[in-house]
C-alpha cells in the first residue's frame, strides 16, 4: 500500500511508518490531539451545524483568513497520513476511530467551504469571465486555487463523491440558466415542423446567436474551469474525474442544441429558406474547431458527431 504524504505546505519531516501497535496508538493519539485543537477553532458549535446546508458568516478561505485555510488543509493532510499509517498496524484502535470521526467532521466543514467558494465567487467564475480571462487577475487566481486545493484534499481523503456532487450541481445550474437567458428553447423536431416559416426564421436567427455564445464562451469556460480544478492532481484518476464531471455538466445541453439545425435542414429548400439555412451552416462551420477542442474526450464524441451531421445536413447542395 502507498501511503499518502502530508501536504506540501508542511515543512515537517515525513513520519516513519509505525512498526508496532503501541507506537501506532501514540502516533495517532498525538496527531488527533494536535490537529483536533486547530480544527475545532473553525469546526465548532458556533460555526458548524451538521444538519445545516447553509454557509456560516465566517469563511476559512476569505482574503483575511486564506493563510489559515491553507494551514487547515495541511493539518488534514497530516491527519490523513497518520490514519493511513496507524491503520496498517492496528486497524481496531479506539484512537484510530477517533481520528476517523475528526476527519469526517472536518470534511463536512470543508464541503461547506467548497460550496461557499463556488457560490460566493460565482461572478468571477462565470463561463464568460473564465473564457476571456488570462488569469492575471488575482481574485480569479485565488478563488480557483482555493477550490483546487479543497478538491484535492477531499478527493485524496476519500471524499471525491461529496466534492464532485457539489461541483456538478452548481455548475450544471449555471449552464442551464445561461442557455435559458440566451433564449434556448426545448423544441422537439415535431414541434418545429409545425411552425410557420416566419416564426421559424426568427428562431433560426436566435439559434445562430445562441450557438456562437454557447460554444465559444459557455461550454469553453466550463471546460477550462473543470480542467483547472480537477485535472492537476498527481493521481491517475484525476483525469477521469475532470472528464466525467465536465461531461455530466455539459453533454446533454450541448446535444440538445443540435436538434434545431438538424430539423431545420429537413425543411423543404425554397428560395426564401436558403439564406437562413446557410446562416446555420456557417455558424456550425465557425464553431466546429471549438467544438472539437472543448468536447475532445472520447465520452463526448457524440457532440462532435452531431456537429458533423448538422454541418453536412445544413449544406446547400
Query: What average pLDDT score do residues 299-309 get?
Result: 95
Looking at residue 16, what is its pLDDT? 43
- The C-alpha cell of 171 is what? 455548475
CB 270 within 8 A of CB 202: no
Residues 6 or more apart whose CB falls under 8 angstroms from that of 31 comprise: 78, 79, 82, 99
DSSP class of residue 237?
T
Alpha helical stretches, state H, 43-120:
66-89, 94-120
**pLDDT tens-place string over residues 155-208:** 999 999 999 999 999 999 999 999 999 999 888 878 887 888 889 899 999 999
pLDDT in tens, 3-34: 333 343 333 334 444 444 555 567 788 888 88
Model pTM score: 0.81
Domains of the chain, start order: 21-166 (no CATH), 180-314 (1.20.58)
C-alpha cell, 189: 423536431
**Cα separation, 161 vs 211, whole angstroms:** 32
Segment 135-154, tens digit of pLDDT: 445 446 788 899 999 999 99
Amino acid at each position: 500500500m502507498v501511503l499518502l504524504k502530508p501536504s506540501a505546505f508542511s515543512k515537517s519531516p515525513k513520519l516513519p511508518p509505525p512498526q508496532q501497535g503501541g507506537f501506532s496508538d501514540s502516533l495517532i493519539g498525538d496527531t488527533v490531539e494536535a490537529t483536533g485543537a486547530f480544527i475545532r477553532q473553525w469546526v465548532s458549535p458556533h460555526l458548524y451545524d451538521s444538519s445545516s446546508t447553509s454557509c456560516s458568516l465566517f469563511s476559512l478561505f476569505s482574503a483575511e483568513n486564506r493563510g489559515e485555510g491553507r494551514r487547515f488543509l495541511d493539518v488534514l493532510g497530516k491527519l490523513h497520513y497518520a490514519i493511513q499509517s496507524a491503520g496498517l498496524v492496528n486497524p481496531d484502535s479506539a484512537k484510530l476511530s477517533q481520528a476517523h470521526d475528526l476527519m469526517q467532521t472536518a470534511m463536512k466543514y470543508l464541503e461547506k467551504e467548497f460550496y461557499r467558494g463556488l457560490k460566493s465567487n460565482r461572478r468571477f467564475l462565470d463561463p464568460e469571465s473564465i473564457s476571456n480571462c488570462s488569469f492575471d487577475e488575482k481574485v480569479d487566481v485565488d478563488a480557483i486555487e482555493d477550490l483546487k486545493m479543497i478538491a484535492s484534499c477531499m478527493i485524496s481523503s476519500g471524499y471525491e463523491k461529496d466534492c464532485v456532487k457539489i461541483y456538478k450541481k452548481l455548475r450544471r445550474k449555471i449552464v442551464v440558466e445561461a442557455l435559458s437567458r440566451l433564449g434556448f428553447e426545448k423544441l422537439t423536431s415535431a414541434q418545429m415542423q409545425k411552425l410557420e416559416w416566419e416564426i421559424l426564421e426568427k428562431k433560426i436567427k436566435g439559434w445562430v446567436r445562441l450557438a456562437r455564445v454557447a460554444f465559444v464562451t459557455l461550454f469553453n469556460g466550463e471546460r477550462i474551469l473543470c480542467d483547472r480544478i480537477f485535472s492537476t492532481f498527481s493521481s491517475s484518476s484525476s483525469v477521469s474525474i475532470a472528464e466525467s464531471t465536465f461531461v455530466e455538466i455539459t453533454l446533454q445541453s450541448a446535444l440538445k442544441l443540435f436538434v434545431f439545425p438538424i430539423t431545420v435542414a429537413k425543411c423543404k429548400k425554397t428560395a426564401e429558406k436558403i439564406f437562413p439555412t446557410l446562416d446555420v451552416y456557417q455558424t456550425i462551420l465557425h464553431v466546429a474547431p471549438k467544438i472539437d477542442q472543448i468536447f475532445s474526450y472520447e465520452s463526448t464524441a457524440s457532440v462532435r458527431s452531431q456537429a458533423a451531421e448538422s454541418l453536412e445536413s445544413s449544406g446547400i447542395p
